[in-house]
Chains A and B, each alone.
Chain A
Amino acid sequence: MSLPNQANDAITFDTFMEGIWRQNPVFVMVLGMCPTLAVTVSAENAMSMGIATTFVLVSSCLLVSLIRNLVPKEVRIATYIVIIATFVTLVDYLIQAVSLKLYEALGAFIQLIVVNCIILGRAEAHASKNPPLKAVVNALGMGIGFTIGLFALGGTREILGAGKLFGMSLFGDQFQPWVVMVLPPGGFFVLGGWLLLFSLLRGRKEARAEA
């Protein structure tokens, strides 16, 4: 956000792409690490968590944006939390209705979407200052960016730790799984690897800009 106080309602390509690239929640802002590290043991879990978070993000940003002129600033955080908690409850029921197995795999992390700082951050920093359509576009970009981040971790961990992707065996019986990758420390290893890659890319880009 270059000029936050300026009335700029134009929806540009960057409104959408911000969350996917420049401000990616996982790789750039390093937000929401609790679900990022905990549920990314497989690509399927990671994708489901990403989609659930995206749904909560988009719907709560829409509602926050719709009532942005009604809410007195003293009670805005309380209001946002109630709205976010509502959509999390909705997702909680929906996932149970779709698959109990998935519900058990994601465990407490569905309910914990309530305190995911990406969502409250978007509501406070973007949706409460922008018209509904722009808020939704931006939230969708953020959600997709988060999902991509989770998938990058979940996919890598599943391939290395179980030799599979989306439950399909990739390497046949000869493959010896690198078990630590699906254990909690593996989450840090893989996240560290991705962050390293992104900072290398950024460093190279800056060096090129200077030259």
Chain B
Amino acid sequence: MSETTTIRTTSGGKMIATMVLVASICGVLIVGAFEGTQDAIAENKRITLERAVFKVLPGAASVREYAATASGIQSLAGAAMPEGGVKFYAAYDQAGALKGIAAEAAGKGYADTVRVLYGYDTNCQCIIGIGVVSMRETPGIGDKIITDQAFLKNFEALDVRVNAEMTALANAVKVVKHGTKQNAWEIDAIAGATVTSKAVGRGINESAQKLLPKLFPHIGELKS
């Protein structure tokens, strides 16, 4: 400090008053923005979900959220997630008939968790389509799981039958080396993108093992 400048100190009261004033203005702005946008955000989330479900279950026209628990299934519309429940989506066609089930699967990929949504057909007890929800895999390598037609062919009728005791899948979903697929429950990996392919396979296996044995015995309840 040079001698010509006088040191001015501000009283604590003024500092607090300023901060309170600024914080109040900011609080009002944030609440206003939240109130103003929350409907649009909820609508956006719903549309995003519907689009993802319709993609894996072609022909579906509406989606309802459910949870499968050890004791049965219950609707999630306006209800909280029950303990130990597994979330899934039931998709219906124009006429209101059950078109299929969609659920989310997640597996550790090369860069980050790969999250996919898979469509399950109750008649053939198989997975009939997948869609990537989020991933950060290497562009040009890992992201082939979105575009590689040969890989996507794996999910046209991937066998996920539940065993007779209703405890697990009859055959665990397995990712095999490129070109060695023999059974309907195996996934042929993409050459050069094995880690990402395995992430998808492991995620689907984990999710289906958890969901389908709980869901399958009650599937009739969804058909109304």
Question: Which A positions have Cβ atoms within 8 angstroms of B?
Answer: 63, 67, 70-75, 78-79, 82-83, 85-87, 89-90, 93-94, 96-97, 99-101, 104, 161-162, 177, 179, 182-183
User: B41, B134, B138: which has the most chain A beta carbons within 10 Å?
Assistant: B41
Q: Is the CB of B15 within 8 A of A99?
A: no
Q: Is the CB of B10 within 8 A of A93?
A: no
| Inter-chain contacts of B138 with A (CB < 8 A) | 179, 183
Q: Is the CB of A93 within 8 A of B33?
A: yes
CB of B77 closer than 8 Å to a CB of A = no
| Residue of B with least CB distance to A176 | B140
Place the interface of chain B in its size category: 20 to 34
Question: Which B positions have Cβ atoms within 8 angstroms of A?
Answer: 9-10, 14-15, 18-19, 21-23, 25-26, 29-30, 33-34, 36-38, 40-41, 44-45, 48, 134, 138-140
CA distance A129 to B66 in the complex (A): 57
CA distance A90 to B37 in the complex (A): 9
Partner of A96, one of B22, B30, B44: B44
Q: 3 closest Cβ contacts across the A-B interface?
A: A72-B10, A86-B26, A97-B40
| Inter-chain contacts of A100 with B (CB < 8 A) | 41, 44-45, 48
Q: Is the CB of B18 within 8 A of A75?
A: yes
User: A79, A96, A97, A177: which has the most chain B beta carbons within 10 Å?
Assistant: A97
Q: Is the CB of B22 within 8 A of A183?
A: no
CA distance A63 to B30 in the complex (A): 14
